[in-house]
Amino acid sequence: MKEAESRGSLLVCEGDPHLRAAFALMLGAQYDLVFVSEPAEILPMLGQNVIRQLVWHLDHPPDLLAEGLQRAIRADDPLDASRQIRAAYFNSCIKTLKTICQASPELHILFLASDYELDFQVAALQCGRVNFLPDAWEISQAFVEQLQALLGDKKSSIRHWVVRLPKA
């Protein structure tokens, strides 16, 4: 068995190519990284690779959501339209999360977000052992060390972490 297969891979759900490069710099030496752009790609990837951990960046929605938000700007009530589109995105994330938790209950998931809806927090908590880190983390060496500690703690009963990032 190859070394990568024995230790598994870290799946990163990130659509932004610049942030993908940042993840590769931060975590590439410690993990075999596998990237997907959209939440819908997570489940098929879990079946194709030995994935032990997932980093899911909730702030960078897939292209369809970005297009929807652009249309919302031109709507009669842009604020209401954007809320509805964001709610639909988070509902999609919740459904994906529930399916992932059923299919791979042992998977460690680290969510990164600067803002997340209360509905998402409740649904995430219902899916299993989830911990939210409420303070914003700057992307720095300390942040990288914190990521590595959260992902590598095999003794923790907490499987899913939500890290709040600073707003841009």
Residue 76, domain CATH: 3.40.50.2300
Q: How far is CA 65 from CA 13, 14, 84, in A?
A: 15, 14, 11
The predicted model scores a pTM of 0.67
In the prediction, which pLDDT does 99 show? 83
Q: Quick one: pLDDT at residue 6?
A: 45
pLDDT of residue 35: 92
Q: How far apart, in Å, do the first and last CA atoms of the chain sit?
A: 43
Please provide the size of the chain in residues: 168
pLDDT tens digits for range 74-123: 767 767 767 777 777 777 777 887 888 788 877 877 777 666 666 666 66
Better-scored residue on pLDDT, 155 or 93: 93
- List pLDDT tens digits, range 4-50: 444 568 888 888 888 888 888 888 888 888 999 888 888 888 877 77
- Work out the burial of residue 131: count CB atoms within 10 Å of its CB; fewer than 13 is exposed, 13-18 middle, 19 or more buried: middle
| Residue 167: per-residue pLDDT | 52
- Domain, as residue range, for 31: 3-164
- Domain count for the chain: 1
